[in-house]
């Protein structure tokens, strides 16, 4: 009986990215069925992966060792009832596999008995029948070649299924895992998938979604009342339910126009010098309040009446952390930031604004271009695309006339960690057209790419002209003027 695994789970099992697997599928290196990979295909394609040595088992062992560290257990392990239901489902699968084996055993005994009866007459036919019986027994006793690896893989996969549930979102096709006690909404946001929602505590109904397949469980009560027909067609509130089994849901993904303007009191978590006259300001939102935004958007910061507009440089997948790059002297807020702002000081945050956001339905290769401090929105976009694992490949080009680039090591670490990520720092002296030409000459074709560029208008114009001249559709060029 073939055993199929979803792509995201395979990525976890073999320790690679979903995008790398997709690239292998595209190149015909792995066969799939309905977007799933069959167990034998997996063993064939990854002969060198030693399932039992991999991190997930160590991860669970570490959890067991810390079993009495209560907070850690509460965060990582699923709700007791969810855990029990997942184990029950696994038990049912185990029971049906066992009963099938018992049945095969009985068929084998029956076959042996009848072969024995056939061999009772003597002569050459008897010898052949006895040899066949002997051979059958030998075959059954010999462990199949891949049995050990298949067993280890299945054990690991079962463990993953007990610890996490896989969620497929329709019609967007996004996938994520639910871990610990997270609701479907919390898990989606943690994965960077901006499912639409409002209050996040069961009052508004904005997070309504429909369960298409699988099993869910209410983990937080909600005051919002679902109507009878909604209940009948599987409607649920993402902020109240978690996934018990792997599930498929129909849910709305929010675009920039769906995200309301918010004002939140935040606190300074740290101030990190990036370069001469440039700092990264790290803010924390209040414990129960997440700031909703999409990568590439801007916010307004205020201390008293000193304000300033900045791009968020962190990923929306980070729960309460907001990073902003502040240049000395440029705006009234910078005077405060460089003039004695300290850890734990209050900063008012409002927004978000802007439409320089990622196309969430695109799976195309992505090229990011940042000119100098245009790096802040690009950094957020890069991290968002990474967390969504949506692009086949990512290329980041950062142009600056100030050397070294201030987060050079971070960019290099992305390139080291990801097979499908390329990074190049460029020096701006040669002129904008020449830089744009140098960048795109690395790419054989731009026809099926998306380009996200942030920098001064003259650079954007040069990059747009060069890219469209090399086959990029105008719709594939997304830009933000950052002077």
209 vs 281 by CB, closer to ligand FES: 209
> Rounded to whole angstroms, how far apart are CA atoms 119 and 126?
4
Chosen residue from 51, 197, 333, 356 binding ligand FES by CB under 6 A: 197
For residues 247 and 324, which CB has a smaller minimum distance to ligand FES in the complex?
247
96 touches ligand FES (CB under 6 A): no
Piece of the chain touching ligand FES by CB under 6 A; list 205-213, 265-273, 276-284, 389-397: 205-213
- Enumerate the H helices of 119-146 as residue ranges: 124-141
Question: Cα–Cα distance between 241 and 87 in angstroms, integer?
Answer: 19
The one among 41, 206, 246, 480 contacting ligand FES by CB under 6 A: 206
If the CB atoms of residues 106 and 203 are measured against ligand FES, the closer one turns out to be 203
The answer to the question of residue 226 lying near ligand FES (CB under 6 A) is no
Cβ(30)–Cβ(5) under 8 Å? no
Q: How is 148-194 classified by DSSP, letter by letter?
A: HHHHHHHHHHHHHHHHEEEEEEETT--EEEEETT--HHHHHHHTT--
Binding-site size for ligand FES (CB under 6 A) equals 14
- Count other Cβ atoms within 10 Å, centred on residue 471: 15
When the beta carbons of 191 and 238 are compared against ligand FES, the nearer one is 238
Contact assessment for residue 310 and residue 297, using Cβ atoms and an 8 Å cutoff? no
The distance of closest approach from Cβ of residue 201 to ligand FES in the complex, given in angstroms and rounded to an integer, is 6
Nearest to 380 by CA among 173, 194, 177, 171: 194
The distance of closest approach from Cβ of residue 207 to ligand FES in the complex, given in angstroms and rounded to an integer, is 3
Find the binder of ligand FES among 152, 153, 207, 358 (CB under 6 A): 207
DSSP symbol at 361: T
Which residues within the stretch 235-294 sit at the binding site for ligand FES (CB under 6 A)? 237, 239
Decide if residue 203 touches ligand FES (CB under 6 A).
yes
- Our CB check for ligand FES shows the closer of 4 and 224 to be 224
- The token pair at 474 is 């105008």
479 Cβ contact partners less than 8 Å away, ≥ 6 residues apart: 356, 452, 453, 454, 460, 463, 464
Nearest distance from C-beta of residue 196 to ligand FES, angstroms: 9
**Nearer residue to ligand FES within complex by CB, 202 or 307:** 202
Can the peptide bond before residue 352 be classed as cis, meaning omega within 30 degrees of 0? yes
Binding ligand FES (rule: CB under 6 A), the pick from 198, 234, 456, 471 is 198
Give the footprint of ligand FES on this chain (CB under 6 A).
Answer: 197-200, 202-207, 222, 224, 237, 239
């Amino acid at each position: 009986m073939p055993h199929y695994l979803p792509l995201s789970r395979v990525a976890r099992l073999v320790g690679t990215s979903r995008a790398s697997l997709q690239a292998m599928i595209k190149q015909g290196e792995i066969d799939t069925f309905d977007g799933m990979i069959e167990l034998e295909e997996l063993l064939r394609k990854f002969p060198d992966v030693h399932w039992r040595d991999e991190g997930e088992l160590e991860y669970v062992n570490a959890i067991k060792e810390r079993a009495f560290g209560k907070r850690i257990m509460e965060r990582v392990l699923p709700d007791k009832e969810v855990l029990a239901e997942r184990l029950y489902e696994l038990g049912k699968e185990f029971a049906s596999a066992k009963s099938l084996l018992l049945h095969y055993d009985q068929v084998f005994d029956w076959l042996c008995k009848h072969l024995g009866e056939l061999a009772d007459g003597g002569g050459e036919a008897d010898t052949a029948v006895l040899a066949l019986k002997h051979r059958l027994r030998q075959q059954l006793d010999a462990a199949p070649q891949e049995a050990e690896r298949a067993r280890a893989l299945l054990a690991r996969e079962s463990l993953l299924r007990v610890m996490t549930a896989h969620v497929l979102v329709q019609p967007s096709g996004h996938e994520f895992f639910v871990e610990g006690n997270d609701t479907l909404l919390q898990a989606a946001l943690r994965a960077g998938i901006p499912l639409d929602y409002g209050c996040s505590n069961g009052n508004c109904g904005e997070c309504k979604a429909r369960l298409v397949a699988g099993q869910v469980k209410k983990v937080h009560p909600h005051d919002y009342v679902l109507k009878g027909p909604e209940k009948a067609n599987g409607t649920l509130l993402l902020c109240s339910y978690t996934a018990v089994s792997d599930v498929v849901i129909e849910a709305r993904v929010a675009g920039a126009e769906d995200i309301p303007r918010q004002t939140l009191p935040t606190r300074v978590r740290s101030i990190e010098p990036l370069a001469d006259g440039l700092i990264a300001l790290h803010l924390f939102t209040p414990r129960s309040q997440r700031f909703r935004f999409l990568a590439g958007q801007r916010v307004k910061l205020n201390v008293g009446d000193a304000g300033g507009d900045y791009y968020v440089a962190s990923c929306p997948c980070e729960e309460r952390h907001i990073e902003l790059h502040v240049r000395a002297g440029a705006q009234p807020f910078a005077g405060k930031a460089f003039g004695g702002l300290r850890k734990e000081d209050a900063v008012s945050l409002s927004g978000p604004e802007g439409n320089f956001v990622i196309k969430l339905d695109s799976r195309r290769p992505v090229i990011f271009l940042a000119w100098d401090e245009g790096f802040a929105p690009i950094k957020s976009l890069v991290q968002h695309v990474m967390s969504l694992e949506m692009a086949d490949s990512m290329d980041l080009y950062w142009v600056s006339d100030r050397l070294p680039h201030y987060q050079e090591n971070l960019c290099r670490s992305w390139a080291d960690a990801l097979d499908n990520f390329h990074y190049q720092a460029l020096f701006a002296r040669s002129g904008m057209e020449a830089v744009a030409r140098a960048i795109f000459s690395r790419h054989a074709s731009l026809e099926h790419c998306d380009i996200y560029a942030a920098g001064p208008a003259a650079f954007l114009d040069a990059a747009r002209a060069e890219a469209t001249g090399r086959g990029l559709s105008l719709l594939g060029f997304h830009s933000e003027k950052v002077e």
